[in-house]
Amino acid sequence: MTSERGGERPVTSGRGGDRPVTSERGGDPTTLPMRVPMGGLPDRVTIWEVGPRDGLQNEQAVVPVEVKAEFIARLADAGLTTIEATSFVHPKWVPQLADAEALMERLERRGGVRYPVLVPNERGLDRALAHGVTDIAVFASATESFARANLNRTVAESLDMFAPVVARARAAGLGVRGYLSMCFGDPWEGAVPVGQVVAVAGRLRDLGCTALSLGDTIGVGTPGHVAALLDALAAAGVPVGQVGVHFHDTYGQALSNTLAALQRGVTTVDASAGGLGGCPYAKSATGNLATEDLVWQLSGLGIDTGVDLPSLVATSRWMAGQLGRPSPSRTVQALAKE
């Protein structure tokens, strides 16, 4: 693997950059997608970039720390302002992220960019605090099977494990996100009742989480289900401004599900550059919604993300080169052919 930083481009608001501006028929492909807003959607969406964490945690290859640091720097160059950097979990459980300390030491922290990390327990919090982390995420499960597989705990035991983590992190002034996995179905248990998800979400809020992320860990959700869960959370008093969505794209539903969430007022969407991702402890979890595919859709809808698509695509193509395989993102593939 190499880590030369080639193809740098200034951040621009459109797709122009330095690519050719005329097609065979004389038009300008960089004006696409056409900007055609749709009613009832937010003006701006925050993309919570999870590629360096959710993406790389599931790679067979262990990516060198200098490549990870460069990946994160490039993502910030592309305009992403929330970049989930790594996890302070047990290194034997996720060897791909065993270099969390070394990565945090190398990180080029930019003004206006947040670098959250996953923290399961107080040991993880101690490690994160020792490295200047300002935002953490704990990660619960709506189902017992995944809590056991991912955290070696029941749902209740894992919430007990998070309680002092959230309390100490809040007292130290950190932002604390509460992930909730298996919100739309579980590979061991099948259907997951909406009420079960709402109950665990309520527990995470009671602990003091400042935001939630609803995980479709294995990508089985569909838009009506997304709307029903968001409606149930709203009815339980959870402000939609505190709810993010986290779709894996296993069944190709991630963008439709995102649109359903935006229609319900969600303004934070998790995505992974190039569509990297998965979860080592969930059967059939494939990559996250690709950030490029999300930016393409939001840009067409006239929704501001602050992300420069050509710069992001260049980053994902570079990362694909590092990993030795093409990006699964349709947008990365399509723009590479232009």
From ligand HMG, Mg ion, none, which one binds at residue 139 (CB under 5 to 8 Å depending on kind)? ligand HMG
State the virtual CA torsion across 147, 198, 179, 257 in degrees, nearest 10.
Answer: 110
The distance of closest approach from Cβ of residue 310 to ligand HMG in the complex, given in angstroms and rounded to an integer, is 27
Confirm if 53 and 85 have CB atoms less than 8 A apart.
yes
Residues 255-294 binding ligand HMG (CB under 6 A) are 279, 281
What is the C-alpha separation between 67 and 306, in angstroms, rounded?
24
Residues 6+ apart with CB under 8 A from 92: none
Q: Which amino acid is at 103?
A: L
Closest CA to 227 of 254, 191, 264, 256: 264
From ligand HMG, Mg ion, none, which one binds at residue 152 (CB under 5 to 8 Å depending on kind)? ligand HMG
Confirm if 45 and 80 have CB atoms less than 8 A apart.
no
Residue whose CB is nearest to ligand HMG in the complex, by number = 215
Number of residues that bind ligand HMG (CB under 6 A): 26
Binding of residue 48 to ligand HMG (CB under 6 A): no
Residue 279 falls in the annotated catalytic set: yes
3-state secondary structure of 212: strand
What is the C-alpha separation between 118 and 128, in angstroms, rounded?
9
Q: Which stretch binds Mg ion (CB under 5 A): 50-58, 67-75, 188-196, 206-214?
A: 50-58
The distance of closest approach from Cβ of residue 128 to ligand HMG in the complex, given in angstroms and rounded to an integer, is 9
Q: Which stretch binds ligand HMG (CB under 6 A): 117-125, 198-206, 254-262, 318-326?
A: 117-125
3-state secondary structure of 119: coil
Binding of residue 201 to ligand HMG (CB under 6 A): no
- Residue from the set 49, 54, 70, 308 that interacts with Mg ion by CB under 5 A: 54
Structure tokens at 262: 């935006």
Number of residues that bind Mg ion (CB under 5 A): 1
CA–CA distances in Å: residue 83 to residues 132, 226, 271 = 15, 24, 10
Query: Which residue, 54 or 249, has its beta carbon nearer to Mg ion?
Result: 54
**Rule CB under 5 A: which residues touch Mg ion?**
54
**Rule CB under 6 A: which residues touch ligand HMG?**
54, 57, 87-90, 93-94, 118, 120-121, 123-124, 127, 139, 150-152, 179, 181, 215, 217, 246, 248, 279, 281
